[in-house]
Amino acid sequence: MKTIQINGTARNDFGKKFAKAARREGQVPCVVYGGGEEVAFTVDAKELKQLIYTPNSYIVEINIDGKVETAVMREVQYHPVREQVLHVDFYRVQEGKPVAVTVPVRLTGNAEGVKVGGKLALSARKLVVKGLVSNIPDEIVVDVTPLKVGQTIFVGDLNVENLVFVTPATTAVCAVRVTRASRAAQ
């Protein structure tokens, strides 16, 4: 997985009043938890854009007043109207312990069903996988070449070494849909 660096400032004040004050200054309250003590800090909202507004998943190296924490982003809370980032939760990565991460899906190949007029539809843009950080890929590549019209690839059909899919096995990843053109071809 790719790594991204973010600078944070430790915070000692908690509660709604201090969180609102931090947001007014362009800071986002954050927390790192798991495998030890919980660390509360704030991050500049501009630094989070490169992490949040992307389809990629990253390992985040957070520099909190000189102490570096390695983590993955677990949850982001948004304001319901302004879509402003209110709070971010990070989960600490520990050597030798598996972690659950969302990984983007990329389709490759030209499906047989598309050649006869079907339409390829991607149903799941990201899948949740669990494994050691060193084994988690940047993306999950799915070959759609053997798909015929009306066929679907499910999460249960995928096999990636050293990873366990947390997303249910019955979740559709992609399918070749029937179209009028494909009906006429049959």
Q: Would you kindly state where each structural domain of the chain is located, as residue ranges?
A: 2-94, 100-185
Of 3.90.105.10, 2.170.120.20, 3.40.50.300, 2.40.30.10, which CATH number belongs to 100-185? 2.170.120.20
DSSP annotation of 156: G
- pLDDT, residue 172, reads 92
Q: The pTM is what? A: 0.78
Are 148 and 176 in contact, with CB atoms under 8 Å apart?
yes
Are 130 and 157 in contact, with CB atoms under 8 Å apart?
no
| Digit-coded pLDDT (tens) for 15-36 | 777 888 788 888 889 889 887 7
Alpha carbon of 1 to those of 50, 78, 136, 138, 147: distances in Å?
15, 25, 6, 5, 29
Mean pLDDT, rounded, for 40-58: 86
Mean pLDDT, rounded, for 99-114: 88
pLDDT score of 186 more than 70: no
Task: Evaluate the CA torsion angle 50, 139, 104, 148 in order and state its sign.
Answer: positive
| Digit-coded pLDDT (tens) for 154-182 | 999 888 888 899 999 999 999 988 887 66
Mean pLDDT, rounded, for 36-55: 86
| Protein fold of 2-94 | Ribosomal Protein L25; Chain P (2.40.240)
Mean pLDDT, rounded, for 101-125: 88
Establish whether domains 2-94 and 100-185 are of one fold.
no
